[in-house]
Structure 1
Amino acid sequence: MTTRPDSAEPAPAPDGSSAPKVVAEGVPSALRSDPRWDDGRRPLAWIHITAPGRGVTPSVRSWCVCGRDLFAAGQRRALALIADHEQHRAACPYIAPQERRKAA
C-alpha cells in the first residue's frame, strides 16, 4: 500500500496490517513537560485506595521506586497497608534522603 504524504490514509504497519503508526521510532514525543513548570519533583511512592461504598470490599495498592508493590483487600488489611505505606515512606532509602533535603 502506497500513500501520498498529503493523504490521510494510515501507513502500513511492519507486520503488514494497516494499523496506523502512532509514533515513529527515535522521534521525541510531543508531550514533553514545559520547562517553565518543571521544578524537578517526581513521584516516588504511590498509594491507591478504593473504598467503593457499603457492602463492597475496600482495597489498597502501594508502590514505591525501590520495587515495593503490595496489595491488600478487606478493611482490616487495607488499613494495615495504609499504615505500613506511611512507615515505608519514612524508612525507604529512595525517599527519606529527599524528604530530609526538603525539610532542611
Structure 2
Amino acid sequence: MPELSVGEPKGVAEGVPTAVRPDPQQGDGRYPVAWLHICAPRGAVPTATSKCLCGRDRSAVGRARVLALITDHEAHRDTCPLRTPQEGRTAA
C-alpha cells in the first residue's frame, strides 16, 4: 500500500518560506510582429530576410538589394495590416 504524505513538500525545511518568483513571461502586452535578419560577414556577400506575421516574407542578396530591403522593411511598419487600424475602426 502506498504511503500518504501530509505537510510540507519533501526537501523544504520546516519554517522556511518558499519563494514564489514572478512569471517571467508577463510583459507589457507588446510582442514581435516582424523580423529583419541581416548577415554581412567581412569580405562576403551580405544577405537579409524580412518576415512578418501578416505573411510577408522577402529576401535580398548583395549590398544594394539588402539596403533596399532594410528601407522596405521599415516602410512596412506603416502598411502592415497587423500594425495599422483596420477600415471601419475608430481610435478610442
Q: TM-score, normalised by structure 1?
A: 0.55
Q: CA offsets, 1:29-67, max 9 Å, x none? A: xxxx926732221100110011111x2011110001110
- 1:61 maps to what in 2? 49
- 2:82 maps to what in 1? 94
- 1:24 maps to what in 2? none
Letter of the 1:71 partner, please give it. S
Letter of the 2:36 partner, please give it. I
4+ residue runs over 3 A deviation: none
Alignment of 1:34-53 (within 5 A): 34=23, 37-53=26-42
- TM-aligned CA distance change 1:38 to 1:80, over 3 Å: same
Structure scoring higher RCO (CA < 8 A, sep ≥ 6) equals: 2
The offset of 1:78, in angstroms, is: 0.3
Q: TM-score, normalised by structure 2?
A: 0.62
Question: Residues of 1 paired with 2:25 and 2:33: CA distance?
Answer: 22
- Determine which of 63, 70, 77 is the counterpart of 1:75: 63
Letter of the 2:55 partner, please give it. G
Letter of the 1:45 partner, please give it. A
Task: Determine what percentage of the aligned residue pairs are the same residue.
Answer: 55
The SS at the match of 1:85 is helix
* Uncovered stretches (5+) of structure 2, i.e. residues with no partner: 1-21, 86-91
Q: Which structure has greater helix proportion?
A: 1
Letter of the 2:31 partner, please give it. R
Larger Rg, first or second structure (1 or 2): 2
Number of residue pairs aligned between Structure 1 and Structure 2: 65
* RMSD, aligned α-carbons: 2.2
Question: Residues of 2 paired with 1:72 and 1:43: CA distance?
Answer: 21
